[in-house]
Structure 1
């Protein structure tokens, strides 16, 4: 692998870049089950024949991006395509989501595949003929809209996978369930959406998947690179707010009031003491960052209150809950010690860490090595958040990252996901189609052994 881990934007940034690792799979993979091997030529031929169609879908979606829970045009495009292929299609799941099922000609397990559909409130700065000029209303504001995180590619890839698998339906030893998900990038005001709402509205019902696979395009790796690892691969993503109450007084006589700025400053340091002295750092890393600090309106007036906000990133659920608890206790007790009060509020729309099931990862790693054109590599976990985590909590899951920076370019210098200059090498789309197709048929064939 050729890229460093990129720093991520707060809270809902949905992707990590790849970290260099010496653990590249170079030895030939073990033979696949005969039932899967028989389908490989069909995957190779079908995926290549529709490559331009997948690229065209991606460009169309890129030119018409839609924000979370507004993906009506995208969902309609997806649903129409899947109906033509013979999928049983359910629309309007979690507002705009699409769930589609295709039963193969032979008995076998149910494999779920997921693609997220939403764009970001970002103004595009990429000079391509299909650049976005779209605008929309987001949290009451008129904003520019861009697919700056590769979700347009994810949708196009899964539409391509649908066509590949439908072409071999009679020979498919199992059932495919496709999840086209809205609102992965979160919604305003802490609204619960995305994968959690899809699950609550029955996305995994009738039939329930045995496993779920997903991918994410990233400029942090070159085209052909497929990054994976067992265990946590993305962090939890939790936004918090801290309200510190004091008592207003003149700056010349602070003893007449309670200074919330001093208390809030001590709370910031107290939070870092949780990180440095109360968490077992040998188990998993964590990140606790205060991103905003607002108080006062005049240089010589001590205000009544101070407000802060920030993000917490963890990889272990027990550690996540422990840090949340200690943050509340630390803030409250520090404030009380100075005569004030403080309350820590965590937004309800936080994401859990995305954890790749270790047994499933070990089982499917050879499949990644069989994908034509792919260079699978074990990567380090990153601090980005992904709500694929909730699908992977419901059933065993495997989430991989697909490089999208053109070969020959230094991926460490590529514009990161969420940048207005994010650029995707469209050759990565074929890698994505083949990756999900191989994972699907291999898992089905192995389950039938």
Structure 2
């Protein structure tokens, strides 16, 4: 047995044998789920596949309909020990697939009042298949397992439809972390920014908080040839956008933590010679520190309202707190990086930079110490900085990542159970 699979827990050899035998089925599950993606809070088919699988494994409890379509399974080992939770997200994105894969999605549905394509453009199909595989491996060694494993299959990580609750926050409200309460929670994410065979980790803040921003500027409509007769909300909005970016570059101490403010949508007017009544902007705020987060919210509001007032316009700023910072418990991370190194080889396990993307796994970590790590999904030999990223219609996964993720999550689970039994 080589160094990458040197056992640290008594079940290591059994895990390796079972994982490699299960790999073809995990790939098949992933391809089936990839071909039939579903949007947040609508993962009916996916949840049905998961629930049927967990029931066939003989889990002690399988709850369905948690936070609309979530599934929570409970496996009690044959020996006393702690409770650990594992999470996979199930939803796809409103993206029309352009990969050309034989199992590419052709699904179309309604989203926000529009017909859209649906694609697993972020790799959640891989996460579901991996956790189904982990459940099968651990169920097969139930008698030797010291403790209890809770499997959380979560809907709507990519946000629920407008007007609905969903995701990790709603799963928690509906008891996903109760009866029993886990001592720790683990999750993973396939990443286009790492080559297959590589695992990425970071202690402390690893992914940013994500807060939606909406600004409405109200002016006074007039002819474009006589702007002095009205109040121009387009000019005012342009000044606000420039000011928002100045906030980060001139008022945020980015030597301590990075921050991002992006305006991604701006709508106003319908003719080139008419100054409209109003403009609506939408954007996102990303931070890694709660104090900086609150301070930036206040500064954005003050700046937008002040610029509008200076232009005789009115302004309404709405900032809602979205996902919190994904925070890897430092002690838990330090304890299980050696496990990841055993799985992938020390040279293939890297400490990654902070990620300005966000994850609602953060809500679980608010209540339970957690570790969230990344599994490389870009084929070896391809520069991961130049390939199509997660959320792209051309996002591709090297399926070697499935076995890597399966082995890593199973070994981390077994190491945790034995270390805390």
User: 2:343 aligns to what SS in structure 1?
Assistant: coil
Compute the displacement of 1:372 (Å). 5.2
| Counterpart pick for 1:124 among 83, 97, 107 | 97
Tell me the distance in 1 between the aligned counterparts of 2:105 and 2:396: 13
Structure 1: which 5+ runs fail to align?
1-27
C-alpha distance in 2, partners of 1:134/1:266?
Answer: 41
1:43 paired residue number: 15
Aligned to 2:122: 149
Q: Confirm or deny: 8 A CA contact 2:199 2:344 kept in the other structure.
A: no
Of 106, 131, 134, 2:79 maps to 106
Instruction: Please report how far the alpha carbon of residue 327 of structure 1 lies from its aligned counterpart in structure 2 after TM superposition.
Output: 1.0
Hey, what's the Cα distance between the residues in 1 that align with 2:96 and 2:235? 38
TM-score, normalised relative to structure 1: 0.89
* Partner Cα distance (2:153, 2:62) in 1: 11
What's the Cα RMSD here?
1.9
**Which residue of structure 2 aligns with residue 265 of structure 1?**
238
TM-score normalised according to structure 2 size: 0.94
Do 1:402 and 1:428's aligned partners in 2 also have CA atoms closer than 8 Å?
A: yes
Partners of 1:252 and 1:409 lie apart in 2 by: 54
What corresponds to 2:249 in structure 1?
276
Q: In the superposition, relative to structure 1, how do residues 445 and 315 fare at CA in structure 2: closer, same or farther (>3 Å)?
A: same
The answer on whether the counterparts of 1:244 and 1:263 sit within 8 Å (CA) in structure 2 is yes
Q: How does 1:13-92 map to 2 (within 5 A)?
A: 37-87=9-59, 88-92=61-65
**Distance of 2:101 and 2:162 partners within structure 1:** 33
Map of 2:184 onto structure 1: 211
Instruction: Supply the distance in 1 between the matched residues of 2:27 and 2:20 (Cα, whole angstroms).
Output: 11
Name the CA distance, whole Å, in 2 between partners of 1:268 and 1:419.
Answer: 26
Per mean C-alpha deviation after superposition, the further-off stretch among 259-268 and 311-320 is 259-268
Does 1:351 pair with 2:302? Answer: no
Q: Give secondary structure in 2 for the equivalent of 1:416.
A: coil
The 4+ residue runs of structure 1 with deviation greater than 6 A are none
Name stretches of at least 5 consecutive residues in structure 2 with no aligned partner: none
Distance in structure 1 (CA, Å) of the matches to 2:67 and 2:223: 51
Match of 2:395 among 417, 422, 425: 422
- The Cα shift of 1:122 comes to 1.6
C-alpha distance in structure 2 between counterparts of 1:48 and 1:261, whole Å: 59
2:10 and 2:77 map into 1 onto residues whose CA distance is: 15
